[in-house]
Amino acid sequence: MSSSPPSTPFFLLLLFVFVSSSSFVSSENLPVKALVLPVKKDSSTLQYITTIHQRTPSVSLTLSVHLGGSYLSVDCHDRSFISETYRPLFCRTVQCSATRSRSCGTCNGPARPGCNKNTCRSLPENPFNRLTLYGEFAEDAIMVRATDGSVPGRLVTANRFIFACSSNSLLEGLAKGAKGVVGLGRSQVALPTQFSSKFGFNRKFAICLPSSTGVDNGGAIFFGDGPYNFLPNMLDASKYLIYTPLLVNPNSTRIGAGDTDPSYEYFIGVKAIQVNKQTLRFNTSLLNIDRGIGGTKISTVNPYTILETSIYDSIAAAFTEESGLSRVGSISPFEHCFDGRKVPMTVVGPAVPEIKLVLQSNSVVWSILGVNSMVEPKPGVLCLGFVNGGRHPVTSVVIGGLQLEDNLFQFDLGASRFGFSSSLLRKKTCCSNFSIKVDS
């Protein structure tokens, strides 16, 4: 067995690939394969929050996570933003077009971050209080941790990262201490696409949200390819993923958008819903996206899944029947609560009927077990952790926080597919078992 040295053209090609992919390497000159952000759950708002470093000199920012958000929006009001590397985005630049901004603005008064002349206007959204407010788009350095898929590594810098610099009303309704919102949507300037173009990895990211609000219980958001190795055995949780296509809703779902862009949020094609083996009967056209109305999206804005009334009623009726539990008074926002005193606890939560979202075929099923379907608002009472969204919501099914926790989800924008693991507890691990204690 002998191996011949690579021929010259091949060697040059390798050199070229190395040089071009290393144009955004970290200070240690190693390519970055993936990045990781820590995620915590805020106990009072139930929002998921993360930490990113920004500016020169750098400051650490707590930010609320908006899965379908279009970009990073940061509070810039009142001279609070100090940075040597801040640059406003001027109108009619390539970067301004990437933001899809349609307006140009001028701020009178001394130039400072958030107040410059002839800048690309942003419309940062705060999905938690449904406000939009004007600001200017800008670029600045941000620093996040690289990862090998097992542990958080060194801080690496993404220079000239585009974000919206906005007034402080952005902060109303956000978790305490939050200074803005990170958008993970499918736009050109949301985090997944900016990171993949800056570091040269695939346009892919994964979220693993924690179920507990304890300070030591953090989940992770990964950008780039796996592995995503979790304790106790450092098993790669990407092996558990099952895939379904990501769908594009042609109508914008941004708050106050009035724009003609497609939605930057993530929609999937749920075809049917089952409770145990019972397939629910409701008008399944509600599950299709028709001129922007209907369909199923994934959102980190709502702590619980919100269902159009007829879908809610049919799940609740089937669940009540299948569980055989007796109902007790409702506890807002939940309508269906039960006497849970005799329900056995398992590693995957209370032993209750399984709720299944059937995707493109009967073999592609997202299972929702007790830990992701039930809430215990007081001892001995278990409520079905879904919320009745009324008769004519824009989106029929908005899958929210409780149903996402301790599951791994991968959003592969290049291949336009969505991977889901169902509960990691069934695999004897959980989202806070990615060792991310090294944050900040």
Ligand X SMILES: *[C@@H]1O[C@H](CO)[C@@H](O)[C@H](O)[C@H]1NC(C)=O
User: Alpha-carbon Rg of the chain, whole angstroms?
Assistant: 23
- Residues in contact with ligand X by the rule CB under 6 A: 231-232, 251, 283, 285-286, 291-293, 425, 428-430, 433
- Sheet of strand 272-275, all strands in order from the earlier edge strand to the far edge: 278-279, 272-275, 355-358, 365-368
Distance between CA 174 and CA 180 in Å, rounded?
8
| Residue (277 or 392) nearer to ligand X, CB | 392
Tell me the two tokens of residue 245: 């296509």
| Residue (357 or 430) nearer to ligand X, CB | 430
Minimum gap (Å) between residue 247 Cβ and ligand X? 15
Minimum gap (Å) between residue 260 Cβ and ligand X? 7
| Residue (187 or 423) nearer to ligand X, CB | 423
Q: What do you get for the CA distance between the two ends of the chain, in Å?
A: 50
Minimum gap (Å) between residue 339 Cβ and ligand X? 27
Distance between CA 430 and CA 279 in Å, rounded?
29
Minimum gap (Å) between residue 35 Cβ and ligand X? 23
The number of beta carbons lying within 10 Å of the beta carbon of residue 79 is 11
Minimum gap (Å) between residue 310 Cβ and ligand X? 9
| Residue (160 or 271) nearer to ligand X, CB | 271
Integer CA distances (angstroms), 195 to 36, 199, 206, 224, 376, in order:
11, 6, 13, 8, 39
Minimum gap (Å) between residue 308 Cβ and ligand X? 9
Tell me the two tokens of residue 397: 């099914």
| Residue (154 or 426) nearer to ligand X, CB | 426
Cβ 135 vs Cβ 122: under 8 Å = yes
| Residue (114 or 269) nearer to ligand X, CB | 269
